[in-house]
Chains A and B, each alone.
Chain A
Amino acid sequence: MRPQAIGAPVLQRLPRIYWALAALVLIGIASVPQFRTVSNLANVLDQSATLAILALGQAFVIAGGMIDLSVGQLVGLITVVACMLFQAFPDMSLLVVAGCLALAAMIGLINGELINRLRMSPLILTFGMLSVLQGLIFMFTDRSIGQVAPSIAFLANGRLLGIPVSLFLVALVAFAAWYGLQRSIFGWHLLAMGNSADSARKAGLNLYGLIRIAYLVSGLCAGLAALLVAGRLGTGFPNAGNGLELDAIVAVVLGGTPLKGGRVSVVGILGAVLFLGVLNNLLNLLQVPAFTQIVVKGLIVIAAILADRPGRLAQPA
């Protein structure tokens, strides 16, 4: 409780990732002329939309001290299923969208329910589910199939008044996540569970319900992200979601939410997603070889987890 200058609280409460983001943007502006263009900026936002939604969903499970490794393959499954249905029923795209979102939410709910009933570690359960879903995808198809409805393509790639349409969707999801996690009773209870499941149980919280809803939200967000992926690709690519779960977890951790749960920052997660998007964009613009980019990303994962160490630079919740 040191005395603080006026205005300092805002800067202090700004998640640390924004400093890294600012540094990255400055480097980009200084070194790459194409980086400064408006179309490039819109491009970065477009590309980041999928990850943003996925990471916000993942934040619900991580805030509660759990993890969901199945979201990557869930994105793949929904992408494939959606594109197959869009092609089969071109006139009923709204119904297909609703059906796909319901399917994704249901798979999330199954995750939560199995964790409750089998009393399993979420890590191993969703890890097994990853393999199950991957198998399911390849039972449907081993190549790209189907096509996407024009409305979904517009959602993923379109511009409204020069602003990417996907940005509106992200803003909507982010507001819902911010309210759900940081302003609602549900979020309060979820964070309590993340802090200490034992204490939360003793305080009379319904942990089963919390787990169920957290995974349902994670699945639902994976479904939304899958629609964006389908819109961008224009077809159902079975490997579309490979590795996305890791990207989402990294974004959540980089955004200042510890893997143990109990603390969450939606604003931080958005910053982290932007950071990863800008980094990707810069590495591409600087023509860094693809394989070197992989190494850089792996090193960032390790650096992120080291920066997340408990007890270091502890922030107020």
Chain B
Amino acid sequence: MSAVASPLPEGMRLPSLEKAAVWIVLAILLLLAGLTSDAFFKFNYLANLVRQAAPVGITAVGVTFVMLLRGVDLSVGAIVSMSAVVCALVMDGKAENLWLGIAAASACGAAIGLANGLIIAHGKVSAFIVTLGMSIVVYGLVQMGTGGTARGIVSPGFREAMNSRILGNTLPVLVVCLLAAVAVGIFLQSRTRFGRGVYLVGANPDAARLAGLPVARITVVAYIVSGLFAGLGGLALLARTGVSGTNPGAGMEFDVLAAVVLGGTTFAGGRGSVGGTFAGVMVLFIALNLANVAGLPFAAQLTIKGLIIIAASAAHSWIGSRGSGRSQE
């Protein structure tokens, strides 16, 4: 899709270094990790790592779309919390409420996304502040709903099913869920008119509007997608923990944003991909896992996360300035 930005037609482009960058980083990191502990080369350990990454990964797929659009969604952490809490409350420990709970959580996520999208598309205001404000509102609503204590019980079988392994007890179900989310994201991004529209609007909103694209509609849909995937991410988190705390998704928007930026989707929009985001999620989790294995305290992990965000973003703007001269945001 980045043929939009490239002066050459699709077939004549060289494989871009920028797109491969995150995969190269992932390979190097994995190699380094393997050298420090050979557990990283074992399928079980890797599968477990991916399983841990599922909530952040699923959420990041949705956020990729708003970032491609030059937007940002800081409300996803709060939506993850809300989804987990709503799902547990609706399920109420009864098996027959299983699908109702899942549907309710997804609907809540999509509804918050819709609100974000409508305000941003029609108010023409900073997505950053709107979604930050929304995250506060949603956080407050979640606290009001729970009364400040962990409430709600998941349906019997939900947690067990999501944490089991298929294919002869090898592949965790949560890994399958994450891969499915990535596959859906890649399909949306490269096989639908919506996906094409997201890239075009992100690359140049004015040109997209002049070309007659429904910019407002694409924006709203992108935020709905982001909210919906955050809702699904909340379900994945609930499946892993089995209980809904009062704010299980607190701060998750930071991880998600770091992963998306690492994956090559810049704040300038129009560039990046869901596949890159997946690689970014894995880089982040392997790095944090390494910090853990190395025995670094939680504080050091926070610092590393921050440095990774800065370094990745700097690298991308450096690569960008070599190429077509990205406009400074």
Q: Chain A residues in contact with chain B, CB under 8 A?
A: 114, 118-121, 123-125, 127-139, 142, 197, 246, 249-250, 253, 259, 289-302, 304-306, 308-310
| Number of A-B residue pairs with CB-CB distance less than 8 Å in the complex they form | 144
A129 and B310 in contact, given A136-B303, A294-B139 (Cβ under 8 angstroms): yes
Cross-interface CB contact of B310 among A124, A138, A197, A306, cutoff 8 Å: A124
A291 and B148 within 8 A (CB): yes
Q: Are B129 and A197 in contact (CB under 8 A)?
A: no
Interface residues of B in 263-309 (CB under 8 A from A): 267-268, 297-309
Write the nearest CB–CB distance from B137 to chain A, whole angstroms: 3
Q: What is the CB-to-nearest-CB distance from A113 to chain B, in angstroms, rounded to a whole number?
A: 13
Residues of the A chain whose Cβ atoms lie less than 8 Å from the Cβ of B313: 118, 120-121, 124-125, 128
Q: List A contacts of B126 (CB < 8 A).
A: 259, 305
- Of B137, B257, B267, B299, which contacts A299 at CB under 8 A? B137
A131 touches B140 (CB 8 A): no
Q: In the bound complex, do residue B132 and residue A301 qualify as a contact, i.e. CB atoms below 8 Å apart?
A: yes
A-B contact pairs, 25 of them (CB 8 A): A118-B317, A119-B328, A120-B317, A121-B267, A124-B267, A128-B306, A128-B309, A128-B313, A129-B306, A129-B310, A131-B303, A132-B306, A135-B303, A135-B306, A138-B298, A291-B148, A294-B139, A295-B144, A298-B136, A298-B138, A298-B140, A300-B133, A301-B133, A305-B130, A306-B125
Say yes or no: A302-B134 contact (C-beta < 8 A), given A120-B313, A131-B306, A135-B300: yes
Closest to A126 in B: B310
Which of B123, B135, B308 contacts A309 (CB under 8 A)?
Answer: B123
- Are the C-beta atoms of B141 and A132 separated by less than 8 Å? no
Within residues 122 to 164 of chain B, which ones have a CB less than 8 A from any CB in chain A?
123-126, 128-130, 132-141, 143-144, 148
A117: min CB distance to chain B, Å: 9
Question: What B residues does A138 contact at CB under 8 A?
Answer: 297-299, 302
Instruction: Give the shortest distance, in Å, between B107 (CB) and chain A (any CB).
Output: 20
Residues of B within 8 A of A250 (CB): 129
A124 cross-chain contacts in B, Cβ below 8 A: 261, 267, 309-310, 313
How many angstroms from the CA of A148 to the CA of B137 in the assembled complex? 35
Give the docked Cα–Cα distance between A259 and B123 (Å).
14
Q: Are B125 and A309 in contact (CB under 8 A)?
A: yes
Contact between B302 and A305, CB atoms less than 8 A apart: no
B1 in contact (CB, < 8 A): no
Known interface pairs A123-B128, A305-B125; A295-B306 also in contact (CB < 8 Å):
no
CA distance A216 to B125 in the complex (A): 28
A77 to chain B, nearest CB (A): 12
**B261 (CB) vs chain A CBs: closest residue:** A124
